[in-house]
Structure 1
């Protein structure tokens, strides 16, 4: 997380739009990126390893605390006005102003996009941090429903802003846990800590190697451009939701597997113990467990490969990850499989679905000279199959959450 304001070409425009909407300038503008997970899917809530990176698409929030003065200890000294009204507006979604009372938030009661910023407010209050009323204008270029963590980008931008404005003094690790609590208990999505960690702790040119058991982070260089590669994101336009039954049932299977095997989490199961696990688990639960155990190993191998030989050598690990998610965890879909197979057949050195599954995006690590061939082939394959045309774009490792104005 970057605490020094950095120039952002869109921050000034958002601030001006905020003032025109709410009648006063914001106290600042904050941004947090979406993320791509390079490898390590559904390992986070099993206390395992993941390797995401923050991307160059992000949510931006202009925020002003209501009343004439702000909380003592904040960058704007003064006594707190007792005004708990929250006004939320997004630059998309029909310009509907959402009104709420920060002192009367109830989990599950908010159904629109506002559940993400309001969930953060609720989680902060649960943590003992008083949050006054505020006005917020949101703008985001993180694609919705694409598996790039658009919702977590909003949450991370909001918590970064409120942490600054209230003088709460939260660390990045604490903000990770609080946004997870907002997702789990307020939004109702049983997610882990990977997305928030990438958004809050990402760094330019690096992937975030995260140990989800103790939140230890190591930054690993991901120099794709220097290696003559691009990372293509293929948004299949198949919408998904982390709060649906598919995600929850996979998590329940993992918890059942850990309990049956007598371990705290599937992180504690070694690959050599899988044959014994096969004897103790029903076939479906075993496949779920096998995915998590082997995926953890693939993350570790990818980190080692990036450090020792570079990104041109991780293609086989990406391919194996997708096969495991398709066959063992069963979270892929025909569009994702078509994107992966077509990309691999047209020059990509490795490809996999990314994100929670059941839709969203695939990634394809591709030599620059084959980029257009892969793009054209995927578009053609989707058209031939009668699927909605995919959105295809490149991403690069970007900075984490920060104040930008």
Structure 2
């Protein structure tokens, strides 16, 4: 019998607490994700380049004999209980809202008759790797399995959007769940977030071995509001003003993806300073994403890393996200031997940064953080964590 990992054991213990039928346990492996390029553009219909990684959210579950949902978590207190056929508009404990949102999204098309009983646990700290999307996808796949629903990955991308945009109220795009659901081991996934079209890009023949070094900062809550939804609104306002300046008719939800680079070059000087910076990040990030796709296909990690580092700097100076600690973390990483390029993973207000790195770069990264990061941020010394990850397959039920 295969030995279970520590996280699997924890998820099983949580499943027992939720009265799951242990003889009928199934697993959802829902991976975390890294967006190598395409930072902060998915909500504007931009192009992104990313992958799932070999760190996952694990959900151990059994189908319920009725519509009852019962869940326990390794990381959060309380037991979540509701009926899958009539999920509540709000829920306590709050961590269960993703499960309720999954039921809400599925009930719009199918009438759920069976719930799940299960336990959930993560293989990495929360923050920066889209654990919330991974959790939402895990609940979707488990409820679909329990109700014998045949749902495509593309349909699940939209269902997870409903969870996050409409039920939770976070105005993010489709990057996170797309990488979680569509990734294929060994390839990067390129997606046009306006059309939903995607492609798996194989690496160049001479691509060196590498790792995706994820540094969890230890920051669990931002010192101030993250401003995520405000940044989305600023991008939309920049799009509205640019389209208006060019004489185009108003749109219900203007996006920078609706604006051509030529139009921005002609009318961008009319934007207020902050909005001009948001738009500048969008258009330069689109250039970097296209160039990064070519670099990966050519097996050129140095070129890809330089583009990742430039993306990180634009996130700081143009998109204006990041706490002082995370900004320091990115800039320290970009000076470490063996690191090709680093930037925030996620919005940059809490959680993680990542670096495209050589396989043996771990000790140099840890030494640099102990030497430079710890003295600047003694409150985070001993709290950060390094994981050397690899690209992995998308979410699945086992």
What SS does the aligned partner of 1:204 have? coil
Cα distance per residue 1:249-274 (max 9 Å; x no partner): 01001111112222752123343433
Q: How far apart, in 2, do the equivalents of 1:127 and 1:381 lie? A: 53
Q: How far apart, in 2, do the equivalents of 1:350 and 1:24 lie? A: 46
Alignment partner, residue 231 of structure 1: 212
2:235–2:278 contact (8 Å) kept in structure 1? yes
* Structure of higher RCO (CA pairs closer than 8 Å, 6+ residues apart): 1
Which TM-score applies when normalising by structure 1?
0.86
Q: How far apart, in 2, do the equivalents of 1:87 and 1:100 lie? A: 7
Alignment partner, residue 251 of structure 2: none
Alignment partner, residue 117 of structure 1: 99
Structure 1 segment 167-316 matched on structure 2, within 5 A: 167-221=148-202, 227-239=208-220, 246-262=227-243, 264-316=254-306
**Match 2:330 to one of 327, 336, 340:** 340
1:45–1:191 contact (8 Å) kept in structure 2? yes
Cα distance per residue 1:4-32 (max 9 Å; x no partner): xxx89449745576357516233522111
| Residues 32 and 369 of structure 1: CA distance in aligned 2, closer, same or farther (over 3 Å) | closer
- Which sits farther off after the overlay, 160-169 or 363-372? 363-372
Q: How far apart, in 2, do the equivalents of 1:17 and 1:332 lie? A: 34
Q: How far apart, in 2, do the equivalents of 1:202 and 1:64 lie? A: 26
| Residues 12 and 41 of structure 1: CA distance in aligned 2, closer, same or farther (over 3 Å) | closer
What SS does the aligned partner of 2:126 have? coil
Alignment partner, residue 19 of structure 2: 22
Cα distance per residue 1:60-102 (max 9 Å; x no partner): 11222222xxxxxxxxxxxxxxx432211113334x3222233
| Residues 156 and 8 of structure 1: CA distance in aligned 2, closer, same or farther (over 3 Å) | farther
How much does 1:127 deviate? 2.9
How much does 1:287 deviate? 0.8
| Residues 225 and 61 of structure 1: CA distance in aligned 2, closer, same or farther (over 3 Å) | farther
Alignment partner, residue 32 of structure 2: 34
Alignment partner, residue 100 of structure 1: 82
CA RMSD of aligned residues (A): 2.6
| Residues 159 and 273 of structure 1: CA distance in aligned 2, closer, same or farther (over 3 Å) | same
Alignment partner, residue 321 of structure 2: 331
| Residues 27 and 275 of structure 1: CA distance in aligned 2, closer, same or farther (over 3 Å) | same
| Residues 336 and 366 of structure 1: CA distance in aligned 2, closer, same or farther (over 3 Å) | same
Matched, 1:397 2:397: no
What SS does the aligned partner of 1:170 have? coil
**Any gaps of 5 or more consecutive residues in structure 2?**
249-253
| Residues 402 and 48 of structure 1: CA distance in aligned 2, closer, same or farther (over 3 Å) | same
Q: How far apart, in 2, do the equivalents of 1:359 and 1:213 lie? A: 27
Q: How far apart, in 1, do the equivalents of 2:3 and 2:255 lie? A: 41
How much does 1:186 deviate? 1.2
| Residues 229 and 62 of structure 1: CA distance in aligned 2, closer, same or farther (over 3 Å) | closer
Alignment partner, residue 79 of structure 1: none
Alignment partner, residue 139 of structure 1: 121
| Residues 273 and 228 of structure 1: CA distance in aligned 2, closer, same or farther (over 3 Å) | same
**Any gaps of 5 or more consecutive residues in structure 1?**
1-6, 68-82
Q: How far apart, in 2, do the equivalents of 1:62 and 1:356 lie? A: 29
Cα distance per residue 1:148-197 (max 9 Å; x no partner): 11111111112112222212211101101111111111112111111101
2:45–2:193 contact (8 Å) kept in structure 1? yes
Q: How far apart, in 1, do the equivalents of 2:62 and 2:329 lie? A: 43
What SS does the aligned partner of 1:127 have? coil
Matched, 1:376 2:367: yes
Q: How far apart, in 2, do the equivalents of 1:214 and 1:8 lie? A: 43
1:223–1:311 contact (8 Å) kept in structure 2? no
